[in-house]
Structure 1
Amino acid sequence: MLIKLDKICSSCLSNHVAKRASTRQGRSLAVAAAKVYDGVPVLPELMSAIDEDGIMEGHFAVVFGAVCGALSLDLHPTVLMFLFGSLQTVIASAVRLGHVGPMEAQKLQFVCQGLIPSIAGWSSKMSVDDVHIRWPLVDTVQNCHDTMFSKLFYS
């Protein structure tokens, strides 16, 4: 199932910049988890599927779920952690880009994190085939990242 989910993530990320960021973050998480939780038997298999066998690209969302599953975390807290981490990342990026200040970011996070349980609730009713989103403008802008003189982020 992980391999299938990884392939779906790969097909939903239409540009190379988003795909590269997702796989780098996923691989980094897999490496860190395998080192920290070296007694958990699933993690070496995950690393093998990503690195040695090459049957998985190791997208972040899939690796996050696999690591949480290997640690026997329940689904609902795992989804909440993933959504909270995603929110935190977006807000931190807005601060680094200078679009919001640190205090405004804290207020924004406080308001938005209250929405996470309801987002987790309605998204849990969706199938894997329903969870992708296409934003052509965002894809186009992301594709320009490698041609920029100065890159803002390197994931």
Structure 2
Amino acid sequence: MKAGRIVSVFLLLLLVPGHGWGENPPYLEKTTIYVNEHPLVVEIANTDPSRQRGLMFRKKLLDNEGMLFIFPSEDYLTFWMKNTLIPLSIGYFNKDRRLVDTYEMEPNQTKVLYHSTEKVLYALEANKGWFAKHGLGRFAVLKIDSRYIGK
């Protein structure tokens, strides 16, 4: 009986934020992308569960790391920072992979929403200030392998 309880508690802890896979979920593929000539190692969030979880509960993000959200079709997107513990920048890219909007987002903010101003297919999150640090503004080009699609 005790062994069964220990396994149950262990499995439960894996699902609790801050425990187990809260830092780096094992199911997200990583790849290097470029915005213009600036590289960024990103996790690919191209399914509903991975897009919904995003960077929630992460305690850190290295300087040149981020998450690329890929959607199955173009739409107006809105992001928020619920349960997101680190300050982030977000960039929205259209179907032509051109940057249309960027925002600086504060941790665990649930009252401010960050809307794309036009229909987009991609959202890129990186550490706060990443786009500005690299001088990336409207029409910067997202370069990714064409095998990555939204599901």
TM-score of Structure 1 vs Structure 2, range by shorter chain: under 0.3
**Structure with higher strand content:** 2
* TM-score, normalised via structure 2 length: 0.25
* TM-score, normalised via structure 1 length: 0.25
